[in-house]
Structure 1
Amino acid sequence: MPIPVSRTRFMTWRSLATAAVAALMAALLVPAAAHGAPRQSTPVYSYENAIRESVWVDTGLDGDNDGRHDRVAVDIVRPRELARQGRRVPVIMDASPYYSCCGRGNESQKKTYDANGDVVQMPLFYDNYFVPRGYAFVGVDLAGTDRSDGCVDVGGRSDIRSAKAVIDWLNGRARGYTTRAGTTRASATWTNGRTGMIGKSWDGTIANGVAATGVKGLKTIVPISAISSWYDYYFAKGAPLYDSGPDWLSGYVDSPDARAKCAAVQQKLVDGAPRTGDWTPLWSERDYVKDAAKVKASVFLVHGMQDLNVRTKNFGQWWDALAKNDVDRKIWLSQTGHVDPFDFRRGAWVDTLHRWFDHELLGYDNGIDHEPMADVERHPDQWTTSAVWPPRATAATTLRPGTGTRPGVGTLGLGRASGTETFADDPRESETDWAANIDRPTADKAGFTTRPLTRDLRLSGSSRVTVTATPTTSTAHLSAVLVDLGPDTVRDYAGSGEGITTLTDRTCWGASTAGDSSCFKVTRAATTDVDYTVVSRGWADLGNHASDKGVALTPGTAYTITLDLAATDHVVPKGHRLALIVAGTDKDLIDPPAGTPTLTLDLSRTSARVPLVGGADAFERATKGSTAAPSASVLDGVRAPHTALRVPGETD
């Protein structure tokens, strides 16, 4: 949705306090600057001699039903010099289920420990880089994983509370212990309680969920490729996106202790997430969007626009809810799939994250709050910015499909049309097959295109496609896809690296020890030449036309349903065409229905609401005076999307 002018500076509510906070933090944390308050933290503290310790925090829950409160393991790395001086430091925290089972980052790093049980290697660069700059880094094992008690409930109460409890402990509101089962208390007297959460995928999802509790002390979150509603990870209006549910994911990450104790929790995950795609109380508990009004932390959101694991509806609806509630925010959108910004824009990412945490946790007036809200990758390694996102001039514009001179090859424009188009669900075909044959009548899709554009046309935000369809069977799935028809060079998001290639050379980010290197393998963009680009996608089970509970369809009856298309930011260049494709099963991206229906679209009651910068006027200008669409041709495009990962994390 467009952002009002008053939100251009996304930190305005703090502006009056910034100078005072910066001065205070400067006095507490770093040597006084020669002239005025500091604008950037510097690596003046020893990483090699940093304090490394473990604490177990009481969550107040007994998820594994063993008669005692669950405790979660918290591994801490913090500057020894500041501890000796009695100075308190802010915290950067990554709460994860992956620290022992699967690893973190592009190199699948795991936590390692010394003979005393203190952490030696903390995955990723956060501790190496930020501890010498006056921060503590905290790595939390979610309940039921690694060295923590409890059960994995995949984004539910136990997941969120196990991370929230640590923030409460950092702020003196929860109990911590020096051992997993002992009685010796541990207090966080070394921190000022100001905490920033960061993490990719499941980790970033936990950051979203904890922020949605409104917990005091959480000042900012940096969710990367994160889920905002677990239903939308597994389903799209009843259409299943994966052939498994949260019970599988829980079993993938839980510890041996949890595996032995948590059968009841596993069964609840099975019972509460039926394969019908019906909305249940389990999904309500794992919907953070509904609680966006509670978010007090600022949000720096990062997502790949071609992420086919945590699909981009998750960031779009979360962003819109944050905007509605005037949450301070910033966003990066890449052309990659499920990839961390450290691996697609490393130098700029470390610098920006550094300044973000300095501003949010140290209170430094470094100007990041006056910079553009959004960075968008327009071509591989080519980035543009927007003062606000989506841009103020963005308006939802209704585009309507019309019949063409051949069946299945129609038009797309502003005018209302009539007529019908018919297609048969073919689970062997995917969105890339449909796009490659957009100008050919094929039985598996209905395609509608504009004329070649006479000027660029930008889509920014989330689209919706309303379809009226008559099925021949009692079950039917629908897909709607927006496509940019024209040649380009893009990141190869469908390749094994999802848009990156990992090299052998390394670059270093922070200090290293013998057991924890700050040096990581370099990556570069993996690119491919295409004749079309899938811009946005959405899916639905037609049986969910009336509610979030699916029903059997009556063959021969027309039903109307609206598909939510994933958020994006894409420019369709001059000379290209914009296409809308409506079809059945999108191979590898949704599971097929029980039957193989044929569906007839009523074009007079089918439309797309597309967020265009400049609205209908921009569309009219871009299509005015253009020539007729080209004759039928075969577009080779990127290869079909790989089968989407079932685990929202790094396992390679």
Structure 2
Amino acid sequence: MTIRARVPRIPWKALAVAAVVGLLSALVSPSGAQAAPGESTPVYSYDGAIRESVWVDTRLDGDADGRTDRVAVDIVRPAEPAQQGRKIPVIMDASPYYSCCGRGNESQKKTYDDRGRPVGFPLYYDNYFVPRGYATVLVDLAGTNRSDGCVDVGGRSDIRSAKAVIDWLNGRGRAYDARTAGHPVAADWSNGRTGMIGKSWDATIANGVAATGVKGLKTIVPIAGISSWYDYYFAKGAPLYDSGPDGLADYVDSPEARERCAAVQQRLADGAPRTGDWTGLWTERDYVPDAGKVRASVFLVHGMQDLNVRTRHAGRWWDALARHGVERKIWLSRTGHVDPFDFRRTDWVRTLHQWFDHYLMGYDNGIDRAPMADVERAPDSWTTDARWPAAGTTATTLRPRNGTTPGVGVLGTEPAPHGSTAQFTDDPELSEADWAAHIDESTPAKAGFATGPLRAPLRLSGAGKVTVTATPSTSTAHLSAVLVDVGPDTIRNYAAEGEGITTLGTRTCWGAGTTGDTGCFKDTAADTRKVAHTVFSRGWADLGNHADDHKGRPLTPGKRYTITLDLAASDHIVPAGHRLALIVAGTDAGLIDPPPSRPRLTLDLSRTTAELPLTGGAPAFAKATAGARHPAPEPAPPLRGIAPPRTATPLPSAR
């Protein structure tokens, strides 16, 4: 839907009167910024807010210049609470993007006046929340914009850059009013209660800081965040990008950092070999094992068609948080790498407002008792679940076998006869879109297996896995497994430039504004596309990692190997009349890089299984497939190598 809602401007005189009301309400409420129980309201002046910069000491010397690095922190906060002797909570976004790439759908960057004082703060957090009694704190990660140090792509310097700011906000750290020398600055206006938010790399930092267990961090809102940097670059040894973290660091480094951080860049290159083998660099950048240290609540948001930060990151992090009883909430959209402000704006701002009011202001507004999960079923159509994955979801084993039509297989619960095989040859020019378009044909580059038309809807909620036993013809081989909903649908056009959204020419305003920071943003709408099939979950692996997820080995041609491919988390309903399909193939063009050879692989179907998260389990599958007949193949377009888009440099995104 196109959002036309507008948060009204509030004149200064009205703000002044409302501030008096807010002061009186402070006697009975924890924030002083509310007129109604459980909700902060915009009673403070945005135009008169305090805008300042400080440099926080990280106590690290990442650039080895003999002095500890300071990171730049730009702050905007209402003036009235400090005048009234009250302290306020913080909404914080720590990012490497504030000068190189910008934030949000319009690639906004920080702006400063001629004296270096902050004027323009990207995104809407300051416009919307500062009048409601919050401070907005935007942190330049080490090595970026106005900070010292070096970018280390999710490592110690990245995480300590942001953690040091939370320590300072809680009275445990040191900050100064200048990048070098300067006078000490205390955060005497902060009550220490901090919420971190951000998309992409920013979200990743929120995950990593939460995994330190730092005191004072009360909640994080990671949007399309990484939970393990190895999983960003590799999938069980299969390379997802043709570059490593050193290239990404160079992309966001400030000009001065590029001159002084060559040694750090080299360590990044050395620690991330293109073999896909696990090293200590990846151990340091894997936050999942430390989920038990998380003290903060987590509101996780991810696009289920995000082909940049794949949903494996969301699934692994979510499951780890669940095992440790972390309070959490999740939104799953049908977009790619997109912020919810740009696909569900009104509902998002309202929900985020409630979330921060509860966890940072302390209001009992019911957000913690609301349904745990919001899932987009179709463009702009959402459902909720009390828990996620959905109640009643169990891992259910399905098995591929050959069908009555040569080369067109069947997916069901009946095991394949011993000795049954299927064969394909890796074609690195073809992608999952090509394979899915030819699911009912015998084609040389894939092995496909499908149910008949379903008699009842079938829901898959969570992450699955596919275990493959294959015999390669060469010493190297990559494998892909994808799940497909075969049937006509209208989806978000996630493979287009907007990754599921269209940016419109109109604007709406979300909070107060100034000449230098208007708080007005371009509206968006769903970009949709009619399709005959939808790939909704994916997994990849290098067959050379069959014996060890973390180390590859050369294969012996003609020898049989077994490996499990982890499918990305998703939540998808295959409607009645559609078919569920599993495709196993080699290189998924545009999503993994090919091996040096073009192997032919023979699958042992009797030892190949798909363990899928079916809501209702095996009984639901039996009900949905009872009496289903497999249709005769229909003509499909010729193979043409349709690959999803991917950027030459991963991760940075304007949205």
Assess same fold via TM > 0.5.
yes
Partner SS, residue 321 of structure 2: helix
User: CA–CA distance in 2 between the matches of 1:382 and 1:449?
Assistant: 27
Instruction: Find the counterpart in structure 1 of residue 126 from structure 2.
Output: 127
- 1:434-466 Cα deviation digits (max 9, x unpaired): 000000100000000011100000000001000
What is the letter of the counterpart of residue 643 of structure 1? R
- 1:520-559 equivalent positions in 2, closer than 5 A: 520-547=521-548, 548-559=550-561
- 1:553-582 Cα deviation digits (max 9, x unpaired): 000000000000100000000000000000
User: CA–CA distance in 1 between the matches of 2:47 and 2:481?
Assistant: 54
Once the two structures are TM-superposed, the CA of residue 392 in structure 1 deviates from its matched residue by: 1.9
Instruction: Find the counterpart in structure 2 of residue 617 from structure 1.
Output: 619
What is the letter of the counterpart of residue 439 of structure 1? D
Identity of aligned residues (%): 71
Instruction: Find the counterpart in structure 2 of residue 507 from structure 1.
Output: 508
User: CA–CA distance in 2 between the matches of 1:639 and 1:498?
Assistant: 16
Instruction: Find the counterpart in structure 2 of residue 148 from structure 1.
Output: 147
What is the letter of the counterpart of residue 567 of structure 2? L
Partner SS, residue 523 of structure 1: strand
CA contact (8 A) 2:33 2:40 kept: no
User: CA–CA distance in 2 between the matches of 1:633 and 1:194?
Assistant: 60
Aligned length: 627
Matched, 1:401 2:400: yes
Matched, 1:136 2:131: no
What is the letter of the counterpart of residue 594 of structure 1? P
User: CA–CA distance in 2 between the matches of 1:293 and 1:365?
Assistant: 26
Using a 3 Å threshold, how does the CA distance of structure 1 residues 636 and 221 change in structure 2: closer, same or farther? farther
CA contact (8 A) 2:88 2:134 kept: yes
CA contact (8 A) 2:330 2:372 kept: yes
- 1:234-289 Cα deviation digits (max 9, x unpaired): 00000000010000000000011211111110000000000000010000000000
Partner SS, residue 157 of structure 2: helix
What is the letter of the counterpart of residue 148 of structure 2? D
CA contact (8 A) 1:509 1:518 kept: yes
- 1:373-452 equivalent positions in 2, closer than 5 A: 373-418=372-417, 419-452=420-453
What is the letter of the counterpart of residue 509 of structure 1? W
User: CA–CA distance in 2 between the matches of 1:276 and 1:527?
Assistant: 38
- 1:266-285 equivalent positions in 2, closer than 5 A: 266-285=265-284
Once the two structures are TM-superposed, the CA of residue 28 in structure 1 deviates from its matched residue by: 4.8
CA contact (8 A) 1:163 1:206 kept: yes
- 1:573-612 equivalent positions in 2, closer than 5 A: 573-612=575-614
What is the letter of the counterpart of residue 500 of structure 2? G
User: CA–CA distance in 2 between the matches of 1:215 and 1:631?
Assistant: 58
Instruction: Find the counterpart in structure 2 of residue 4 from structure 1.
Output: none
Once the two structures are TM-superposed, the CA of residue 117 in structure 1 deviates from its matched residue by: 1.7
- 1:376-403 Cα deviation digits (max 9, x unpaired): 0000000001110011200000000001
Using a 3 Å threshold, how does the CA distance of structure 1 residues 644 and 402 change in structure 2: closer, same or farther? farther
Partner SS, residue 320 of structure 1: helix
- 1:126-156 Cα deviation digits (max 9, x unpaired): 0000000000000000000000000000000
CA contact (8 A) 2:33 2:132 kept: no
User: CA–CA distance in 1 between the matches of 2:435 and 2:34?
Assistant: 62
- 1:59-78 equivalent positions in 2, closer than 5 A: 59-78=58-77
User: CA–CA distance in 2 between the matches of 1:376 and 1:25?
Assistant: 40
CA contact (8 A) 1:25 1:362 kept: no
Instruction: Find the counterpart in structure 2 of residue 642 from structure 1.
Output: 645
User: CA–CA distance in 2 between the matches of 1:228 and 1:133?
Assistant: 31
User: CA–CA distance in 1 between the matches of 2:514 and 2:33?
Assistant: 25
- 1:6-85 equivalent positions in 2, closer than 5 A: 27-30=29-32, 38-85=37-84
Instruction: Find the counterpart in structure 2 of residue 118 from structure 1.
Output: 117
CA contact (8 A) 2:434 2:642 kept: no
Once the two structures are TM-superposed, the CA of residue 24 in structure 1 deviates from its matched residue by: 8.0
Once the two structures are TM-superposed, the CA of residue 407 in structure 1 deviates from its matched residue by: 3.6
- 1:143-178 Cα deviation digits (max 9, x unpaired): 000000000000000000000000000001111111
Using a 3 Å threshold, how does the CA distance of structure 1 residues 424 and 113 change in structure 2: closer, same or farther? same
User: CA–CA distance in 1 between the matches of 2:301 and 2:632?
Assistant: 37
Using a 3 Å threshold, how does the CA distance of structure 1 residues 28 and 377 change in structure 2: closer, same or farther? closer
CA contact (8 A) 1:530 1:636 kept: no
User: CA–CA distance in 2 between the matches of 1:570 and 1:440?
Assistant: 25
What is the letter of the counterpart of residue 624 of structure 1? A
| TM-score, normalised with respect to structure 2 | 0.94
Instruction: Find the counterpart in structure 1 of residue 254 from structure 2.
Output: 255
Using a 3 Å threshold, how does the CA distance of structure 1 residues 174 and 636 change in structure 2: closer, same or farther? farther
Using a 3 Å threshold, how does the CA distance of structure 1 residues 201 and 640 change in structure 2: closer, same or farther? same
Using a 3 Å threshold, how does the CA distance of structure 1 residues 25 and 488 change in structure 2: closer, same or farther? farther
- 1:151-300 equivalent positions in 2, closer than 5 A: 151-300=150-299
CA contact (8 A) 1:308 1:644 kept: no
Once the two structures are TM-superposed, the CA of residue 182 in structure 1 deviates from its matched residue by: 1.4
What is the letter of the counterpart of residue 651 of structure 2? P
User: CA–CA distance in 1 between the matches of 2:609 and 2:140?
Assistant: 46
Matched, 1:563 2:569: no
User: CA–CA distance in 1 between the matches of 2:610 and 2:111?
Assistant: 51
CA contact (8 A) 2:485 2:579 kept: yes
CA contact (8 A) 1:309 1:646 kept: no
CA contact (8 A) 2:30 2:362 kept: no
Partner SS, residue 29 of structure 1: coil
Once the two structures are TM-superposed, the CA of residue 635 in structure 1 deviates from its matched residue by: 6.5
Using a 3 Å threshold, how does the CA distance of structure 1 residues 572 and 41 change in structure 2: closer, same or farther? same
CA contact (8 A) 1:399 1:610 kept: yes
Instruction: Find the counterpart in structure 1 of residue 17 from structure 2.
Output: none
Once the two structures are TM-superposed, the CA of residue 644 in structure 1 deviates from its matched residue by: 4.6
Instruction: Find the counterpart in structure 1 of residue 5 from structure 2.
Output: none
Partner SS, residue 40 of structure 2: coil
Using a 3 Å threshold, how does the CA distance of structure 1 residues 599 and 26 change in structure 2: closer, same or farther? farther
User: CA–CA distance in 1 between the matches of 2:161 and 2:194?
Assistant: 15
Instruction: Find the counterpart in structure 2 of residue 331 from structure 1.
Output: 330
CA contact (8 A) 2:453 2:628 kept: yes
Instruction: Find the counterpart in structure 2 of residue 487 from structure 1.
Output: 488
User: CA–CA distance in 2 between the matches of 1:147 and 1:32?
Assistant: 36
Once the two structures are TM-superposed, the CA of residue 183 in structure 1 deviates from its matched residue by: 3.9
- 1:586-629 Cα deviation digits (max 9, x unpaired): 00000000100000000011000000000011001100022233
Using a 3 Å threshold, how does the CA distance of structure 1 residues 594 and 407 change in structure 2: closer, same or farther? farther
CA contact (8 A) 1:28 1:87 kept: no
CA contact (8 A) 1:531 1:636 kept: no
Once the two structures are TM-superposed, the CA of residue 111 in structure 1 deviates from its matched residue by: 0.2
User: CA–CA distance in 2 between the matches of 1:579 and 1:29?
Assistant: 53
Using a 3 Å threshold, how does the CA distance of structure 1 residues 86 and 116 change in structure 2: closer, same or farther? farther
User: CA–CA distance in 1 between the matches of 2:53 and 2:348?
Assistant: 29
What is the letter of the counterpart of residue 107 of structure 2? S
Q: Give unmatched runs, 5+ long, in structure 1.
A: 1-22
What is the letter of the counterpart of residue 210 of structure 2? A
Q: Give unmatched runs, 5+ long, in structure 2.
A: 1-24
CA contact (8 A) 1:169 1:175 kept: yes
Partner SS, residue 186 of structure 1: coil
User: CA–CA distance in 2 between the matches of 1:403 and 1:31?
Assistant: 66
What is the letter of the counterpart of residue 653 of structure 2? E
User: CA–CA distance in 1 between the matches of 2:250 and 2:633?
Assistant: 52
| TM-score, normalised with respect to structure 1 | 0.94
User: CA–CA distance in 2 between the matches of 1:190 and 1:99?
Assistant: 25
User: CA–CA distance in 2 between the matches of 1:283 and 1:128?
Assistant: 38
Once the two structures are TM-superposed, the CA of residue 51 in structure 1 deviates from its matched residue by: 0.2
CA contact (8 A) 1:25 1:363 kept: no
Partner SS, residue 405 of structure 1: coil
